[in-house]
A and B are shown apart, each in its own frame.
Chain A
Amino acid sequence: MKADLILRVMAKLLIPFIVLFALYVQFHGDFGPGGGFQAGVILAAAVIFYALIFGLADARRVVPESLVEALMAVGVLIYAGVGVAGLLLGGNFLDYFVLDPDPVHGQHRGIFWVEVGVAVTVSGVMLKIFYMFADRGGLEE
């Protein structure tokens, strides 16, 4: 019970920082190393950490399966949506410079939304795969 207590306290302290770091890596990907993939994986790792310490049932209440499945698909749709937006606004598919009167700003916007889409899909898929593996064996901890 004592060891359990230490783990729970440490997890409660660490998980917010892991989520914050994931968001930092995501939005700072323009200026330093980072970007969508790393951020998605770190976010999924935070939730997996939570599931390992507090049990799968608790994790499912915080991040339900339907949300994870929706995240998986929504990310790809966001990415394709940016491409289609480029089509609708007059350029080719996945053209960013038409998204804004200032082409450089259009690139920024396009890249931002594309990275968000990538991070959402990657975190959703990693989490879903973990849920599937853990669920199959009746993994309780």
Chain B
Amino acid sequence: MAAAVCVLARTRNLFSAIVLSGIYSFLMATVLVAMDAVDVAMTEASVGAGISTVLLLGALYLCRSEQSKPLRQVWLPLALSVAVGAVLMYGTLGLPEFSDAHAPIHTHVVPRYLKEMPKEVGMPNVVTAVLASYRGYDTLGETTVVFTAGAGVVALLRRKRRQRDAPDAAKGAAR
């Protein structure tokens, strides 16, 4: 995945950048399966590698630009990114180790979910049960966000291309 990202950062052709992002999403889904996150892997594979790639290709077609310009000065952003990365790595040293059973993440609410699940909800898939029942408000908010994004795209891209008269053009350009 690191290799895919490095090539993506350096490539100038936008189409190959989009294909590489699809490859990166699939690799991420594989890593997620290795982490036992099967629901998340399925969502990442379908949404990240599927819908994202379709939308990016659609936008690329609409923008009609194939090559991006070469970057003149790369040292300042690179130094800044490396500095941020160093600070973050120093920060993660305080976090629990990989597969540490005593980490706080495993001790507060999750044992209750796992124990009470068969009694209260009675369905094997814990993730769906937590998503829809224990954390139902979050899912309601997320559905609303998705709907709002759709409404926003409709508002932005409403068809007014061909016979556009001057007042509409002014309104569209001044947005």
Tell me if chains A and B make direct contact, with any CB pair below 8 A: yes
A91 in the interface (beta carbon within 8 A): no
Query: Number of A-B pairs whose CB atoms are under 8 Å?
Result: 140
B125 in the interface (beta carbon within 8 A): yes
Q: B residues bordering A, Cβ < 8 Å?
A: 38-39, 41-43, 46-47, 50-51, 54-55, 58-59, 61-62, 119-125, 127-129, 131-133, 136-137, 139-140, 143-144, 146-147, 149-151, 153-154, 157-159, 161
Residues on A with C-beta less than 8 A from B54 are 48, 130
Q: How far is the CB of B62 from chain A (nearest CB, A)?
A: 4
Q: A residues bordering B, Cβ < 8 Å?
A: 25, 29-35, 37-38, 41-42, 44-45, 48, 69, 72-73, 75-76, 79-80, 83, 94, 96, 103-104, 107-108, 110-111, 114-115, 117-118, 121-122, 124-126, 128-130, 132-139
Residues on A with C-beta less than 8 A from B127 are 33, 35
- Give Cα A33 to B131, complex, Å: 12
Residues on A with C-beta less than 8 A from B47 are 37, 41
- Give Cα A75 to B139, complex, Å: 12
Q: How far is the CB of A79 from chain B (nearest CB, A)?
A: 5
Contact at B129–A121, with CB atoms within 8 Å?
A: no
Select B147's contact among A37, A73, A110, beta carbons within 8 Å.
A73
Q: How far is the CB of A131 from chain B (nearest CB, A)?
A: 9
Q: How far is the CB of B121 from chain A (nearest CB, A)?
A: 5
Q: How far is the CB of A18 from chain B (nearest CB, A)?
A: 11
Other CB < 8 Å A-B pairs besides A41-B46, A138-B161, 10 of them?
Answer: A31-B123, A37-B47, A38-B39, A45-B51, A72-B150, A73-B147, A83-B140, A103-B120, A115-B128, A118-B143
Residues on A with C-beta less than 8 A from B153 are 128-129, 132
- From B131, which residue of chain A is reached at the shortest CB distance? A35
Residues on A with C-beta less than 8 A from B59 are 133
Contact at B143–A79, with CB atoms within 8 Å?
A: yes
Residues on B with C-beta less than 8 A from A69 are 154
Contact at B136–A94, with CB atoms within 8 Å?
A: yes
Contact at A94–B147, with CB atoms within 8 Å?
A: no
Residues on A with C-beta less than 8 A from B137 are 94
